[in-house]
Structure 1
Amino acid sequence: MHNPPENDLVSIARQGGRLNRMAVRTPTYPADVKEKNPAWRPMSLLVRTMPLRRLHWFATKRLVAHPEPGQSMFAGTEYGAVVDALRTDGHFPGLTLPKITYQEIAEFARNTGCFGNSNRRIEFVAPELADAEARFGRPLLSGHFFERSLDCAAVIAVQRDPLLADIARHYLGGQAQVITPRVWWSFPTQGSEADRSLASHDKYHFDVDDWRMLKFFFNLVDVDEGTGPHLFVKGSHRRRRIKHQLTLHVRHPAEEVLGFYGKGSVVTLMGKAGFGFVEDPFGFHICSVPTQKPRLMMEVGFGISKPSRRRFHGEPVLR
């Protein structure tokens, strides 16, 4: 049987069927353990259980964060209201980027080469998506910029905004530190189940990359129902079904998740370009599939542990 190229993540995923995402991630685990703190792998398992998760939060000394110098671009937003909403609901949908900022990032994204389906061998500019799919012979559901995002001054300005750091430190603790930002496209392409899995479009999931995390998201284009809005299960960061605590999987079907939390717990986060929100990614969430127009988003993440240098913001790499 023909073996796919080493870094052809889509081909590898397709061979795995229901285990497609595991097929992609498993070969990277040894490098994860080698590169990251030795405690990372046990942490990724233990953090799923609510008693141990609460114990870790309780035992960690909460340091009062001192405001960063400089003026925030999010004028009129107080960190206290955001932190209170995060603790109760797991999200806060009240952050708005200045027009000049999101327009600069969007312009950068339209004119800079991105990498399709997290594969650095598939490079194209977003306006030429159709030509790229024909050239590479596969559907392209996403386009990530990885470290190229750091070439955009507006991206750096958002990442360094003092309000974001203040919110993160008051919610996560004084040791909160920024993770490299992420900018990516999601395209309304009819991909296979494996393609959707790789783009995190197929199931609700939660993140276990650190004991405590916080993620800020910003729409860089108008996002409505046809653009694939972000969905978050309100309150799911505070309680968790036993079945979901005692499994290695972080991705679960919608009917299984909503059967426990209720359909009324789902918050649809969409809005005009510049609309932003912050969430505790331990809560169940999903970036729904765009059906009509491409979605362009930016993310700024915070954690409490030393980030890995081996991959750019979770980029899957096979050695």
Structure 2
Amino acid sequence: MVNIANVLSSFKENPGYVAMRGLARFPMVRNVVSSARGALNYRAFQPFLQNCEKRMDQSFFKDVDRRIFINELNRDGLAFGLMLPDATLKEIRNYAINTPVYADRKPNMGFFYREREDAEAKIGKPILVAQYFNARKDCGAISKLVNDPFLEWVAAMYLGSVPTFVGCNLWWTSPVQASDEDKDKHAHFYHRDVDDFRFFKYFFYITDVKEDEGAHICVRASISNPPVIKKGDQWNIRRYTDSEINGYYPADDILEITGRAGTGFAEDTLCIHKGSTPKTEPRLLLQIQYALFDYGTMNDDRNPAELSLV
């Protein structure tokens, strides 16, 4: 049931975002807004692509066939084949080792990840997810990735418009006995995102991710085939049980995405997807997101003066 008080409070704080969330669940509205945004940006669109192409030899992914990549993303809502250079991976890891991370994404619950067990003792519960703040500003490798010409070119082609970078997030997922409340809070149940009228994300594994060790799980091509299990599900945004999704989609379309450190892929997370809880090894993942509009909700920017350790 919708909590009216929460909706009204959210609307007061960010009316544009709340209005979008209500409207963007309808495919026709998404298409109209996306087309209108593209038309308004048509003069800037080709120059943007040309600028990306001129810089393509500077890309970390210059050897990836970008035409095949964008075709896969358009067809399936998923595209694979990215790999971070070793030097970039090392720089991000070093940043993660030497920088406080924040339990449950709360600015007053910082700790160094190597001291996670001590932080859990202070907090009084297992820490399923812990996120870094200001990672793009403080980590040069992440800043370079955000401006990579391959990533920007694909973003423009997929969005049909000059893309808007709306945020990046770097976070650990730990092998803990987490409560259902924490799993729900941190999206470890199947769901769809409605972050804009058109948007997508890049994901990069910063640690090795094997089966049952925190792999991202996505249902291929489910943007155009949302699960209709209960009345109104084609428009509703809710959590789904494993049995609901396993019973609705062919097993071959439910992908547990594994890979060695550095593995990257793109996904429109309007697809049905979920995070999974590692069994024995923690997972470190970087997410970079582009969209049509920036509602200020997807970034990791925080005032350093407001950050504190537990």
TM norm structure 1:
0.83
- Within the candidate set 158, 165, 169, 1:178 is matched to 165
For 1:148 and 1:31, the matched residues in 2 are separated by 29
- Distance in 1 (alpha carbons) for counterparts of 2:247 and 2:163: 34
> Closer, same or farther in 2 for the Cα pair 1:300/1:26, shift >3 Å?
farther
* Mapped partners of 2:158, 2:5: distance in 1: 32
Aligned residues: 290
Aligned ranges 1:1-319 → 2 under 5 Å: 27=6, 32-34=10-12, 36=14, 38-58=15-35, 60-61=37-38, 63-64=45-46, 65-68=49-52, 69-70=54-55, 71-201=58-188, 203-242=189-228, 243-247=232-236, 249-308=237-296, 312-313=299-300
Unaligned runs of 5+ residues in structure 2 are 40-44, 303-310
Q: CA deviation at 1:26?
A: 7.0
Give the C-alpha shift of residue 239 in structure 1.
2.3
| Residues 297 and 264 of structure 1: CA distance in aligned 2, closer, same or farther (over 3 Å) | same
Residues 118, 144 of structure 1: 8 Å contact kept: yes
Give a deviation string over 1:96-155, Cα, whole Å, max 9, x none. Answer: 000100111011111210100112221111111111111221110111012244201111
Percent identical residues? 30
Q: Find the residue that maps to 2:73 and give its secondary structure.
A: helix
The whole-number CA distance in structure 1 between the counterparts of 2:95 and 2:140 is 10
How far does the alpha carbon of each residue in 1:219-271 deviate from its partner, in whole angstroms, 9 at most, with x for none? 10111024210111001012224532332x33211222232222221112111
* Alpha carbons 1:226, 1:293 under 8 Å: kept: no
TM-score if structure 2 supplies the norm length? 0.85
Can you list the C-alpha shifts for 1:10-55, whole angstroms capped at 9, x where unaligned?
xxxxxxxxx8xx88x975x55653454x443232122222343344
**Alpha-carbon contact 1:231-1:267 (below 8 Å) kept:** yes
In structure 2, distance between residues paired with 1:26 and 1:196: 24
Work out whether residues 89 and 234 of structure 1, in 8 Å CA contact, stay in contact via their aligned partners in 2: yes
The 1:144–1:266 alpha-carbon spacing in structure 2 relative to 1, beyond 3 Å, is same
Task: Report the Cα distance in structure 2 between the residues aligned to 1:149 and 1:127, rounded to whole angstroms.
Answer: 21
Give the alignment's Cα RMSD to 1 decimal. Answer: 2.5
- 1: distance between equivalents of 2:298 and 2:27? 28
Q: Higher mean Cα deviation, 147-156 or 112-121? A: 147-156
> CA 1:26/1:239 → structure 2, altered by over 3 Å: closer, same or farther?
farther
Contact 2:37 2:161 (C-alpha < 8 Å) held by counterparts: no
Q: What does the per-residue CA deviation read over 1:137-190, in whole Å, with 9 as the maximum and x for residues that have no partner? A: 111011101224420111101111111000000010223111221111110011
Rounded to whole Å, the distance in 1 between the matches of 2:37 and 2:247 is: 33
Cα 1:189–1:76 shift into 2, 3 Å: same
Unpaired stretches in structure 1, ≥5 consecutive residues: 1-18
Q: Contact (CA 8 Å) 1:149, 1:183: kept in 2 or not?
A: no
